[in-house]
A and B are shown apart, each in its own frame.
Chain A
Amino acid sequence: MSTAHPILEAREIALGYGNAGPLITDFGLALNAGEIVTILGPSGIGKSSLIRVLAGLQQPNTGHVAVDGQVIRNVHPRVAIAFQNPGLLPWLNLERNVAFGLSFARQLRLSSAERRARTDAAIRKVGLDHARHRLPAELSGGMAQRAALARCLARQPKALLLDEPFGALDEITRADMQSLLLSVVREFRTATVLVTHDIDEALLLSDRIVLIGGAPARELAQWRIDHPQPRHDRLAELGRIRIEIVQALHAAIVRHH
């Protein structure tokens, strides 16, 4: 399945705040359907700002972001973003949180039956059918993060942007969420950008890993990983790439300081 345009494309992005000089410069990225790209880099380098630009939450100083070949100037109904903080609304139960926003005026017009069907499918996909009437306070961290993912899925996004989504989870829950994410991306062929500082997570999930660093930050290196998934028991085979990444990250941190 090849489209004329990448699903999500960023070109010549430059970003900075006030007079402090640019934070990020000359950043470009293109994602096809079903592709997972990880953006890796030292902390404080502007990864979160970058993903907000990709989501249309923030405008770059120069350059543009396009969804399906169309330049976006604002948030796009079919680009979903999730953060480390699941951001569930505490006064809505899980089901209503997942459905949240589906009926907003600027979203695609859906009948209430369609909204219901999408919500149900998303909740089932993340395995929270049993908890659909619970309030966020009654969910564990992992369940809340699943609910946040379901809320993204209910919109049937073309692109999914994840900013350190599993950063606050324990090891086992995190592994669980990683395989859920892989299965979601495979099933819905969502173009997915993942921001993380965890090299192993990047190795496990990504088709490509983009390292950014320097001041202002730019793309320093890129790795393509063709190993079949799941890769949990193949991490040893990825050892060489891992060492390369660690060394490049080290060099980037040195250059950053």
Chain B
Amino acid sequence: MSEVIDGIAAQNDVSQRQPAERKLRRRSGAPLRFVHGLAGLGLIVLAWWIATDLLAAPDSLEARFAPQATFSSLFQLLSSSDLALHVAVSLKRILVGLVLALAIGVPVGLVVGLNKTVEAATSPAFQLLRMISPLSWMPIAVMVLGVGDYPIYFLLTFAAVWPILLNTAAGVRHLDPAWLTLSRSLCATPWENLIHVVIPGVVGHVLTGVRLAIGILWIVLVPCEMLGVSAGLGYMILDTRDRLAYSELMAMVIVIGLLGFLLDAAARALHSRWLPASSE
């Protein structure tokens, strides 16, 4: 466990320590990186086109997934208000899952990080629970919580809580001992120590956890929404399949990828914007 955490934490430390250097390097290489990135995306579209257009027979099933049809469906989808509704529903679920995961993961992570006995007692249990795919709880969640948003919130929270909890605990363990000595020498009460040193000191690690959690949430969301709900991106995937609207299905796949890309970029921006101000 601690290896995983230390790995994450070490990454975090490096990014905290040399932000100026990092920024400089990123800026000087930025235009070239952008061009390379675009070229990579172009190659994927090319491969897609070759597989579904050049290699597939004109009236085959594969041909229905071709880029041309997909993009025209995508534009139709983007101009309809329907898609916006489904996206909003999905994003709301992500937000609820993330907030619940924070509300549970940060306090529990603080306790685990501050108390060695609690850490020893919980560590194997957390490792075990963490490795269970959240989707395997799906039938149980539906049986207990019924059909609708609640089982989805449960599954998303269950998926997102681990990176937040474990990163918070790692953050506590990586607090600079000098800060703790300082707060002791200033006669801080345990509460003051928590509020003024421990919590601000772990913000960087919590944000690392949030970033990982957002990635996991987005991946778990779509299959979660394939179950007993009538809105959301996962629902749309099954709906397009059932309507045999294959180009729309492919367009939804692209929408999911794009939104996930944007979410991750937003999480990364939040992470790197917060850190120079708070933990540099």
Chain A residues within CB distance 8 Å of chain B: 55, 57, 74-77, 80-81, 83, 85, 87, 89-91, 100-101, 104-107, 135-137, 155
Select B278's contact among A55, A90, A100, beta carbons within 8 Å.
Answer: A90
Please list the 3 inter-chain residue pairs (A to B) with the smallest Cβ-Cβ separation, ordered nearest first. A101-B186, A87-B178, A106-B187
Interface window among B56-64, B99-107, B188-196, B241-249: B188-196
Rounded to whole angstroms, the CA-CA distance of A23 and B192 in the bound complex is 33
Given A87-B178, A89-B200, A90-B279, are A107 and B185 also a contact pair (CB < 8 Å)?
no
Are A100 and B196 in touch, CB under 8 angstroms?
A: yes
A57 to B188, CA, bound (A): 12
A83 to B185, CA, bound (A): 11
Contact of A101 among B181, B188, B279 (CB under 8 A): B188
In whole angstroms, how far apart are the Cα atoms of A224 and B65 in the complex?
91
Q: Contact partner of B203 among A75, A83, A91, A106, CB < 8 A?
A: A91
Please indicate the chain A residues that have their CB under 8 angstroms from the CB of B181 in the complex.
Answer: 57, 83, 87
Return chain A residues, CB-CB under 8 Å to B179: 87, 89
Quick check: B178 and A101 within 8 Å, CB to CB? no
Whether B184 and A91, one on each chain, are in contact in the complex, defined by CB atoms closer than 8 angstroms, is no
> B residues within 8 A CB of A107?
186-187
Across the interface, A57 reaches (CB within 8 A) one of B184, B189, B197, B280, namely: B184
Question: Given A91-B279, A104-B187, A137-B280, 20 other A-B contacts at CB below 8 A?
Answer: A55-B185, A57-B181, A75-B184, A75-B185, A85-B178, A89-B182, A89-B201, A91-B200, A101-B182, A101-B186, A101-B187, A104-B186, A104-B192, A105-B189, A106-B188, A106-B189, A107-B187, A135-B277, A135-B280, A137-B276
Residues 141-155 of chain B, each 1 if its beta carbon lies under 8 Å from chain A, else 0: 000000000000000
Chain A residues near B183 (CB-CB < 8 A)? 101
- B187 A77 Cβ-Cβ under 8 A: yes
> Number of residues in B with C-beta < 8 Å to the partner?
23
Taken together as a complex, chains A and B put the C-alpha atoms of A57 and B182 apart, in Å, by 10
Instruction: Report which B residues bind A (CB closer than 8 A).
Output: 176, 178-179, 181-189, 192, 196-197, 200-201, 203, 276-280
Question: With contacts A91-B200, A91-B203, A100-B196 known, is A83 near B186, CB below 8 A?
Answer: no
Task: Kindly report which residue of chain B lies nearest to residue A56, judged by CB atoms.
Answer: B185
29 A–B contacts, CB within 8 A, in A order: A57-B181, A57-B184, A57-B185, A75-B185, A75-B186, A75-B187, A76-B187, A80-B185, A87-B178, A87-B179, A90-B280, A91-B200, A91-B201, A91-B278, A100-B182, A100-B186, A100-B196, A101-B182, A101-B186, A101-B187, A104-B188, A104-B192, A106-B187, A106-B188, A107-B186, A107-B187, A135-B280, A137-B276, A155-B186
Question: A104 to chain B: which residues have CB within 8 Å?
Answer: 186-189, 192
Cβ-closest chain A residue relative to B178: A87
Cα A80 to Cα B79 with chains together (Å): 66
Complex interface: chain A residues within 8 A of B203 (CB): 91
In the assembled complex, which residues on chain A have CB atoms less than 8 Å from the CB atom of B188? 101, 104, 106
CB-CB nearest in chain B for A86: B178
Of listed A80, A89, A105, A135, residue having the most chain B CB within 10 A: A89
Instruction: For A100, list chain B residues within 8 Å (CB).
Output: 182, 186, 196
Give chain A residues whose Cβ lies under 8 Å from the Cβ of B277: 91, 135
- What's the Cα separation between A85 and B192 when bound, in Å? 22
Bound-complex Cα distance A155 to B186 (A) = 9
Closest A residue to B180 by beta carbon equals A87
CB distance from B13 to the nearest CB of A (A): 12
Q: From B279, which residue of chain A is reached at the shortest CB distance?
A: A90
Task: Tell me, in angstroms, the Cα distance from A77 to B187 when the chains sit together.
Answer: 6
Distance in angstroms between the alpha carbons of A75 and B185 in the assembled complex: 6
Q: Smallest CB–CB gap between B272 and chain A, Å? A: 14
Residue pair B185, A105 in contact (C-beta under 8 Å): no
**In whole angstroms, what is the CA distance A137 to B203 when docked?**
17
Which single residue of chain B is at the shortest CB-CB distance from A84? B178
**Assembled-state Cα–Cα distance A87/B277 (Å):** 17
Complex: chain B residue closest to A106, CB-CB: B187
